[in-house]
Amino acid sequence: MSRPIVGIISNSYLIDDSYPVHAAGRMNTDAVAGISDCMPLLIPSDPALVSVDELLEVCDGFILTGGRPNVHPEEYGEVATEAYGTFDRCRDVITLPLVRACVERGQPFFGLCRGFQEVVVAMGGTLHPEIRDLPGRDNHRMPPDGTLEEKFELRHCVTMNEGGVFHKILGARQVMTNTLHGQGLKTPGSRIVIDGTAPDGIPEAIYVRDAPGFTLSVQWHPEWNAVNDPVSRALFSAFGKATHDWAAEKTGNIRRKIA
The CATH number of residue 157's host domain is 3.40.50.880
Picking from 208, 242, 229, the residue whose alpha carbon sits closest to that of residue 36 is 242
- Cα separation, 79 vs 67, in Å, equals 21
Q: What is the DSSP string of 108-169?
A: -EEEETHHHHHHHHHTT-EEES-GGGSTT----SPPSSS-HHHHTS--EEEEEPTTSHHHHH
DSSP class of residue 71 equals: P
Share of the chain above pLDDT 90, in %: 71
Structural domains counted in the chain = 1
Backbone dihedral angles phi then psi of residue 242, each to the nearest 5 degrees: -65, -40
Residues 170-206 have pLDDT tens digits of: 999 999 998 876 788 999 999 999 999 998 888 999 9
User: What's residue 255's pLDDT?
Assistant: 58
> How many CA within 13 A on the CB side of residue 18?
1
Describe the crossing of helices 114-122 and 89-105 by its angle, rounded to 10 degrees.
70
Range of the domain at 248: 5-258
Q: Computed from CA positions of residues 172, 173, 175, 177, in that sequence, does the dihedral angle turn out positive or negative?
A: positive
Where residue 207 falls (left for φ over 0; alpha for ψ -120 to 50; beta otherwise) is beta
Averaged pLDDT for residues 77-97:
87
Query: Is a pLDDT exceeding 90 seen at residue 166?
Result: yes
166 and 205 in contact (C-beta within 8 Å)? yes
232 and 190 in contact (C-beta within 8 Å)? no
Picking from 188, 212, 56, the residue whose alpha carbon sits closest to that of residue 122 is 188
Query: Is a pLDDT exceeding 60 seen at residue 259?
Result: no
192-197 vs 5-9, strand pairing mode: unpaired
Picking from 25, 3, 21, 2, the residue whose alpha carbon sits closest to that of residue 12 is 21
Residues 1-18 have pLDDT tens digits of: 689 999 999 999 889 989
User: What's residue 151's pLDDT?
Assistant: 72
Q: Is 37 helix (H, G, I), strand (E, B) or coil?
A: coil
User: What's residue 86's pLDDT?
Assistant: 79
DSSP class of residue 213 equals: S
Which class for 126: exposed (0-12), middle (13-18), buried (19 or more C-beta within 10 A)?
middle
Q: Is 240 helix (H, G, I), strand (E, B) or coil?
A: helix
